[in-house]
Structure 1
């Protein structure tokens, strides 16, 4: 009996260690959406191990039954590019919407008709499938891990954000390619370990609600580091606000106040929905101090960033072109990863410029183009899932588990909002963080075990459900 128990413990520890390695690889090596084949290969190899261990854990314990809907969404998202790679008879393929120019090109080239996959770019679609593996592996692993392990992952992400901000301080101070991890990047800006400052801003915004949960975890706690967690949460938020001012991302600046408001709400709920407690006051103090520093040293560059909006206006001008292409390829889409060549075939000559439009800068439009109605259906289903789980998390009482779930709810909303004007989930770093947040939030569907309270400290209750909400 004891040998079997120790074997199970070692298996779960192996899963936690493997998932932590995957998270570290993704954060440090997955900050670019291109020019990263070797780092991406390392992340995907780590994901295969995590995926195997996670699937075994879910199957051995039956935990998967508590997460059927989310696992179904993830499975369908991974299955979609594989379906697009299934060869079709040429006559059927040629009759699909949007293939007329491709058929003409094959005829002019004298290429004999053959079975072809639905995707116009099967090599890119295969890469898109491989890119799904790390977030899929993190999701499956996180659903099988205890809440205290997931909490450590979140604290690790907060530590990574602080480290990235410190690296970013060197970047804007030295302005040398030696301190930038990617060749194609925003030189002169604070990007941390990312290639794009907007994605660094997204991660900073995601960290704000979790820093509030960190501060909230110190409320009504009897351990000796309760006050340390309170102060740490407030200081992290203040540092992030200063960093957002230095990053000068439009979305980062605009979303900072809503993120701070959500952080205050998390602190208020953590205090039992009573009068403003120390957590809320510290969060407000940290945010206000950060805003004061930004206003003192970075207000003019930020305003100048909003005035120099030619690039953003270019995105708005290009979106109707993307929408037209998406309509032409309905209902099945052009294939995952095919945006770049498809858009180039639609781009008007008068819009050509030195810079090129390699992403739609609107993930919902890009999904519509590449995956058709099936992709949009998955997006809508994901928002439905998020709404139901968020409702369960926010109406619940004060508890460390619920604090993390509420923070995950806000983090997912921030990522979804930024995806309407950029492509943060095209980086493995943000995709894996997104998957971890999904796993944490899905725990809101389970009731906490009776008798557990904040005063008894963190528990493993997310993975020990009593019953499910109907």
Structure 2
């Protein structure tokens, strides 16, 4: 009875293990590819549950040799140790040797003595210890999944079952991606609205990034081809029993083969519709490796290639119906071999260069896992003026090097080497073909991941990495089973390094736990797993409120101005945002971006309330008055603020509190130092302290437009005109946001008659690009007549023509039409027509270019050519009265011209 009960419990625990593995493969991808906080929580729950169930099952077993060795275990332990070292406080002496560059980057966090601006000491290797701890949890998830999968796989049938799961989840995701593209509503799964991504435009499935969607499908291509050949082998095997479906002449095995062929075509079709060039290449690599090994091993090679060819034909036919032009355009840029076409804006190359520069400065242990988005702005001005930023390095290898240093890079390469050894060993072994094709499927998928990682951050997508982890475990077990000699290995025997030899360390496996150690492992896993789940649970709840705030902020930025009092509207909005953000930090107290957003919201709320108060002192005036008063205590300062400003001064204190909290979590937040400089008087700081905070901001964000603009304003207040001009120039180069601010400040204090001189000054000192000239022209045109702005107009049209020659066809056509309008304002009819013709040359389908050129031709009495362009417009917009009137004018002019020519001919006769 006891034995029966024990076996029942063992069976239930084994089902829990299988459910954990299945959940990581099937469920996590549906939760925004695991990048959503809820997806990370699900991955942690599945991994911990599977590991806990396996360890508890081991406690109930009688055999002492219940451990399958893996050479990856030391690498996993060292990886976890590295992340722990990055995220825990270290002594200053040791830290200065591990990260000597940190003292230069953070002088206010490492300076000794009684410097009043000193913020303390930074005791971490990581610049983002909270993100590094989160990365540690996810890394432990992968480690647990790998170890559990290795222990769970007893026979080759277990490997084949996992391969079928990987293939099936790829098919499900492909179907979902195609359905969302063809009949979606822009929301993921038709109900979730992501704040930064739409589910329309390209096939994405439940991934916010099309590249990650394509990578997930690429991971399933190898297993799907394996499943296809396995079905063909079973249905066409010698002496195999062919069970036919009732009323048909097709056996069930053949029907399965046909369905798998269609499934493969669907996956490839969805991958092409993602328009991800790297993902398409990854799928091609996976398919090529798997198909080539199947063909070389004579695993129904000819039939398999025929089925693959039919799938390719179906894909071509499907693309002919939908999406061929867009797919072919993307593939042309991929096969062109030109970096300029593949990376048109040089964004990836800019990020890679910044990553290499940063990695060289923090080479030993890196900057901390999850720190890339906070570190790279110190090395490049990319996105320096935008609310969006680059979250990853677009190259998984470089990002690993930056975040984990040389130590992490060595561990990464060792792990890749192990996977290559297992895959190649399984393919080249003397085991039956059944083992080799499994290794081929795994090798193709892992090769796709390694290749795609060169141009994207696919290793940072939990859904993709969870599947890759399971496939890596399968690679090891297939290699071990093939070394075990086929059927003897299928018997479920535990393996040891002594039996197989090779790289697994001969003799007893040193890290294998004894039977008595399993209860201790269960207890340890209970505590560690509980901490992991709790660590991910808070952010999972907070994500909802953060998304709500993010969507509301984006909507507010797009909302047109109304007649409502802007101060009142801003007050209501800021209070609503503060309530939402407070929910975020309540569930996730270490949410850096939420604390910064709260600081900004309280600052704006104070400005709105102050603007509506009786004493409308600006913050600069309040600061100057407080410093000049030299209050003896903080209580005296608080009392003066209550009398002079009102009770709403507490929003300044809350802004300061959230700013200090954000900096204690990540000292690289440049804009937080700007807030700290503005509010330094609340901490008793003087002008020197304020200057120190701004200098610290410039060290960590030397290209940030807001930081540079704050430094420029501070220099101007100090009477340093040369310093203001230097910082203002750098801020101006950061992008349109700061260009608009600087131009607005200069023009708002200038009389209308002096605006042309201000425009000349901006052009001479700031050398604006076309976007800057547009902003300058728009501001000056509000108070200055066009004839006084002719020099500015000529400068703008010259810059427009220069930039149009360097742009792609569609964008170039738009800029050429801008030049056309500007030449028209200047009265240059010939140049206006030339620009319109250039626009048509770059984009023959530009409607505005056809219509504007037709109008110019009518003025020049070129009626025949004008008629051609107007008829083109009429075909595109039938019933347009303006086009019809101009077309009648062109017809009348052409006929009148013929009549006049005929009359003149008659006179000559």
TM-score, length-scaled by structure 2: 0.47
Match of 2:71 among 59, 69, 72: 69
> Aligned partners of 1:5 and 1:74: how far apart in 2?
31
In terms of mean alpha carbon deviation, does 340-349 or 418-427 score higher?
340-349
Give the superposition deviation at 1:131: 1.7
C-alpha distance 47-452 of structure 1, shift in aligned 2 (>3 A) = closer
Q: Does 1:238 align with 2:265?
A: yes
Does the CA-based 8 Å contact 1:86-1:117 persist in structure 2?
Answer: yes
Q: Does 1:335 align with 2:368?
A: yes
Does the CA-based 8 Å contact 1:55-1:141 persist in structure 2?
Answer: no
> Aligned partners of 1:429 and 1:297: how far apart in 2?
28
Tell me the residue number matched to 1:369: 402
Q: Does 1:183 align with 2:195?
A: yes
C-alpha distance 20-196 of structure 1, shift in aligned 2 (>3 A) = same
Secondary structure at the aligned position of 1:189 is classed as coil
**Aligned residue-pair number:** 461
1:170-201 deviation digits (Å, cap 9, x = unpaired): 32224523345543225421111111111110
Q: CA RMSD of the aligned region, Å? A: 3.1
Tell me the residue number matched to 2:103: 100
Give the superposition deviation at 1:84: 1.1
Tell me the residue number matched to 1:79: 81
> Aligned partners of 1:369 and 1:104: how far apart in 2?
21
TM alignment of 1:272-283, pairs within 5 A: 272-273=297-298, 276-283=301-308
Give the superposition deviation at 1:56: 4.9
1:9-52 deviation digits (Å, cap 9, x = unpaired): 3332332223223333322225153xx22332233233222222
Give the superposition deviation at 1:398: 3.9
> Aligned partners of 2:90 and 2:41: how far apart in 1?
29
In terms of mean alpha carbon deviation, does 349-358 or 89-98 score higher?
349-358
> Aligned partners of 1:273 and 1:62: how far apart in 2?
41
C-alpha distance 93-268 of structure 1, shift in aligned 2 (>3 A) = same
Tell me the residue number matched to 1:387: 420
Tell me the residue number matched to 2:465: 431
> Aligned partners of 1:321 and 1:63: how far apart in 2?
50
Tell me the residue number matched to 2:454: 420
Tell me the residue number matched to 1:254: 281
Q: Does 1:163 align with 2:177?
A: no
> Aligned partners of 2:307 and 2:196: how far apart in 1?
39
> Aligned partners of 1:418 and 1:118: how far apart in 2?
29
In terms of mean alpha carbon deviation, does 87-96 or 129-138 score higher?
87-96
Does the CA-based 8 Å contact 2:366-2:403 persist in structure 1?
Answer: yes
C-alpha distance 241-41 of structure 1, shift in aligned 2 (>3 A) = closer
Does the CA-based 8 Å contact 1:212-1:264 persist in structure 2?
Answer: yes
Tell me the residue number matched to 1:13: 15
Tell me the residue number matched to 2:90: 88
> Aligned partners of 2:445 and 2:214: how far apart in 1?
12
> Aligned partners of 2:66 and 2:461: how far apart in 1?
27
Tell me the residue number matched to 1:456: none
TM alignment of 1:208-247, pairs within 5 A: 208-218=221-231, 219-220=233-234, 221=237, 222=240, 224=243, 225-247=252-274
> Aligned partners of 1:330 and 1:144: how far apart in 2?
36
Secondary structure at the aligned position of 2:449 is classed as helix
> Aligned partners of 1:469 and 1:227: how far apart in 2?
42
> Aligned partners of 2:51 and 2:86: how far apart in 1?
23
In terms of mean alpha carbon deviation, does 172-181 or 136-145 score higher?
172-181
Tell me the residue number matched to 2:132: 125
> Aligned partners of 1:155 and 1:296: how far apart in 2?
30
Give the superposition deviation at 1:373: 0.6
Highest Rg: 1 or 2? 2
Give the superposition deviation at 1:355: 4.8
Tell me the residue number matched to 1:154: 163
> Aligned partners of 2:433 and 2:379: how far apart in 1?
52
Tell me the residue number matched to 1:346: 379
Q: Does 1:323 align with 2:356?
A: yes
Does the CA-based 8 Å contact 1:323-1:369 persist in structure 2?
Answer: yes
1:118-164 deviation digits (Å, cap 9, x = unpaired): 11111110111112233222212211223434433332332322222
> Aligned partners of 1:244 and 1:441: how far apart in 2?
25
Does the CA-based 8 Å contact 2:439-2:475 persist in structure 1?
Answer: yes
Secondary structure at the aligned position of 1:232 is classed as helix
- Which structure would you say has the larger RCO, counting Cα contacts within 8 Å and 6 or more residues apart? 1
Does the CA-based 8 Å contact 2:294-2:300 persist in structure 1?
Answer: no
Give the superposition deviation at 1:253: 2.6
Secondary structure at the aligned position of 1:88 is classed as coil
C-alpha distance 304-282 of structure 1, shift in aligned 2 (>3 A) = closer
Secondary structure at the aligned position of 1:116 is classed as coil
> Aligned partners of 1:361 and 1:373: how far apart in 2?
19
Give the superposition deviation at 1:465: 4.8
C-alpha distance 79-226 of structure 1, shift in aligned 2 (>3 A) = farther
Give the superposition deviation at 1:62: 6.7
In terms of mean alpha carbon deviation, does 86-95 or 221-230 score higher?
221-230
1:277-321 deviation digits (Å, cap 9, x = unpaired): 423322232234324533664332124336575566211122111
C-alpha distance 43-68 of structure 1, shift in aligned 2 (>3 A) = closer
Match of 2:117 among 110, 113, 121: 110
Q: Does 1:38 align with 2:38?
A: yes
Does the CA-based 8 Å contact 1:244-1:252 persist in structure 2?
Answer: yes
> Aligned partners of 1:92 and 1:426: how far apart in 2?
30
> Aligned partners of 1:117 and 1:311: how far apart in 2?
38
C-alpha distance 115-123 of structure 1, shift in aligned 2 (>3 A) = same
Give the superposition deviation at 1:2: 4.4
In terms of mean alpha carbon deviation, does 314-323 or 88-97 score higher?
88-97
> Aligned partners of 2:204 and 2:412: how far apart in 1?
28
Secondary structure at the aligned position of 1:92 is classed as helix
Q: Does 1:443 align with 2:468?
A: no
C-alpha distance 265-75 of structure 1, shift in aligned 2 (>3 A) = same
Unaligned runs of at least 5 residues, structure 2 = 244-251, 334-340, 503-909
Give the superposition deviation at 1:80: 1.9
Secondary structure at the aligned position of 1:334 is classed as coil
Does the CA-based 8 Å contact 1:321-1:347 persist in structure 2?
Answer: yes
Give the superposition deviation at 1:167: 2.1
> Aligned partners of 1:228 and 1:415: how far apart in 2?
31
Does the CA-based 8 Å contact 1:209-1:266 persist in structure 2?
Answer: no
Match of 1:193 among 206, 215, 224: 206
Give the superposition deviation at 1:113: 4.5
> Aligned partners of 2:501 and 2:345: how far apart in 1?
43
> Aligned partners of 2:116 and 2:397: how far apart in 1?
34
Does the CA-based 8 Å contact 2:394-2:457 persist in structure 1?
Answer: yes
> Aligned partners of 2:67 and 2:227: how far apart in 1?
30
> Aligned partners of 2:492 and 2:292: how far apart in 1?
22
Give the superposition deviation at 1:111: 3.8
> Aligned partners of 2:30 and 2:122: how far apart in 1?
41
> Aligned partners of 1:296 and 1:231: how far apart in 2?
22
